[in-house]
């Protein structure tokens, strides 16, 4: 089975911890992916005054560090499984569904914050959008449940 894990800095650790509690076959493949929203690089930043390209590169390095750290946790638990990482750019929904299609994922694992009201209206729900657009099975993990352990 090919399992795509859609991680971000807020949900990544909880997703991996939840997955490590499950039984997986040594033949299963994991890909830990995160999305770099390049619009974040163009947000003014008073403390560094850096150019957008410098900020984009720094954010990309931070995201690569995140997926590398998460993949090491999986490798420690499932040393025989193939594990790859991917830092995607663009809109999260489009990037994740394209990655799942291109990689031929059987399952995508994504976290949800269960936002309600104004915050959901303003920020939207990436997990909901991805679920509607994905061409593979989905496992949506409520992050508040995992972090309460």
* Predicted TM-score (pTM) of this structure: 0.79
In this structure, the dihedral spanned by the alpha carbons of residues 88, 90, 96 and 102, taken in order and rounded to 10 degrees, is: -70
Fold exhibited by the domain 2-147: Rossmann fold (3.40.50)
Q: Would the pLDDT of 54 be above 60? A: no
> Bigger pLDDT: 29 or 113?
29
Instruction: Determine the pLDDT at residue 143.
Output: 74
Judge residue 73's burial from the number of C-beta atoms within 10 Å of its C-beta, 0-12 exposed, 13-18 middle, 19 or more buried. Answer: middle
**High-pLDDT (> 70) share of the chain, %:** 74
**Domain-by-domain residue ranges, the chain?**
2-147
Q: Would the pLDDT of 46 be above 60? A: no
Contacts of 35 (CB under 8 A, 6+ apart): 6, 8, 87, 88, 89, 90, 91, 92, 95, 96
Q: What are phi and psi of 43, to 5 degrees?
A: -75, 130
Mean of all residue pLDDT scores within the chain: 80
- Strands 107-112 and 137-142 come out as parallel
Most confident stretch, 35-39, 107-111, 131-135: 107-111
Q: Would the pLDDT of 12 be above 80? A: yes
Mean per-residue pLDDT for 107-127?
65
The Cα–Cα gap between 66 and 95 comes to 17
């Amino acid at each position: 089975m090919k399992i795509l894990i859609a991680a971000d800095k807020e949900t990544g650790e909880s997703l991996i911890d939840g997955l490590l509690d499950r039984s997986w076959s040594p033949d299963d493949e994991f890909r830990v992916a995160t999305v770099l929203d390049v619009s974040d690089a163009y947000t003014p930043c008073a403390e560094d005054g850096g150019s957008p390209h410098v900020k984009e590169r720094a954010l990309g390095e931070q995201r690569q560090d995140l997926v590398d750290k998460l993949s090491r946790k999986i490798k420690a638990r499932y040393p025989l499984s193939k594990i790859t990482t991917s830092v995607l750019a663009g809109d999260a929904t489009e990037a994740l569904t394209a990655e799942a299609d291109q990689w031929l994922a059987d399952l995508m694992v994504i976290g949800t914050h269960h936002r309600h009201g104004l915050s959901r209206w303003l920020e939207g729900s990436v997990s909901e959008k991805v679920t509607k657009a994905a061409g593979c099975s989905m496992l949506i993990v409520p992050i508040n449940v995992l972090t309460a352990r």
